[in-house]
Amino acid sequence: HDFDPNAKIMVILRNPFDAAYSEYLMQKRNNELNSNVSFLSALRAEASLDNENMQQLPKLIRTRLYDRHIGRYLNLFPRSQMKFILFEELADMERLLIEMFEFLQVFTKVEIDYSLKYNTKNIHENNTKLLAISRVVPNYIKLFLKKNVVNYFPRINSQKLIHQTVKCPQDAKEFLRPTFIPVINKIEIILGKDLSSWKL
C-alpha cells in the first residue's frame, strides 16, 4: 500500500474444499508429504495445532480462509480497486481477459490466440525427479524403453487427465464444513455473488 495506494489487485478464488484437496495432491506429487498420509489425516493434523505450530504444516486449511486474507487488503484498499475472479470463470478466458483489461484500464482491442495451452502435461510428465533422471539417461536407452517397455502399459488418455475436475472427497468435506461454510458465507457478502454451488 505504501508503494502504490492506487494499485489494482486481482484475486482468483477457488472452491476452498476443492482447492485444499488439489494442493494436497500437488504436495503428494512433489513428495512434500509422506505417501501414507491421507487427505483427511493431514487436515486433522493441521486443525489440531495452534497458530504458531501450524506453520509447520502444508497450509491446506489456513490458506483457504479467504475472508481473513481478503479482509487485510480491504482494510488498505477500496473495494473498487479489487477484482475478484472465480476459478470457474477461467473457462471463458476470452470474456474474462476483456473484463480484466477493462478493470486495469488498458487497451482491450488486442488479438489473442486462445488455442494456446500451457501446463497441460499429465502429472507423470511434471514429476521433477523423473525429468532429472530423463536428462542423464542416454537416448539409445530411452528409445529402447519406448519401444519395448511402454507398450506393455495401458495407454493413458492425457486429454482426460487434463480436463479431469479435482473434487474434494466427501469425508474430508464433512470435516471441513464447519470451517469453510462460514468463510464462503462471508465471501458471498464481499463479492455480492451466490456461491451456493461451493457449499454442496
What pLDDT digit, counting tens, does each position of 8-19 carry? 999 999 999 999
Band the pLDDT of 159: cuts 50, 70, 90.
Answer: very low
Q: Which residue range(s) make up the domain with 16?
A: 9-116+168-199
Of the chain, the percentage scoring pLDDT greater than 70 comes to 70
Residue reference for cell 480462509: 65
Query: Residue 104: which of 190, 192, 13, 7 has the closest Cα?
Result: 7
**CB atoms closer than 10 angstroms to residue 103:** 16
Angle, helices 170-191/39-48, rounded to nearest 10 degrees = 60
Q: Is residue 147 part of a domain?
A: no
CA–CA dist 56, 169 (Å, integer) = 24
Domain with residue 90: its CATH number is 3.40.50.300
Residue 52: the pLDDT is: 57
Q: How many domains does the chain divide into?
A: 1
Strand partners, 9: 82
> pTM score > 0.85 for this model?
no
Tens of pLDDT, residue by residue over 43-100, are 998 877 765 555 555 589 989 999 999 999 999 999 999 999 999 998 888 899 999 9
Q: Is residue 36 part of a domain?
A: yes
Q: Is residue 59 part of a domain?
A: yes
Q: Is residue 140 part of a domain?
A: no
Q: Is residue 80 part of a domain?
A: yes
Q: Is residue 142 part of a domain?
A: no
Q: Is residue 135 part of a domain?
A: no
CA–CA dist 167, 173 (Å, integer) = 10
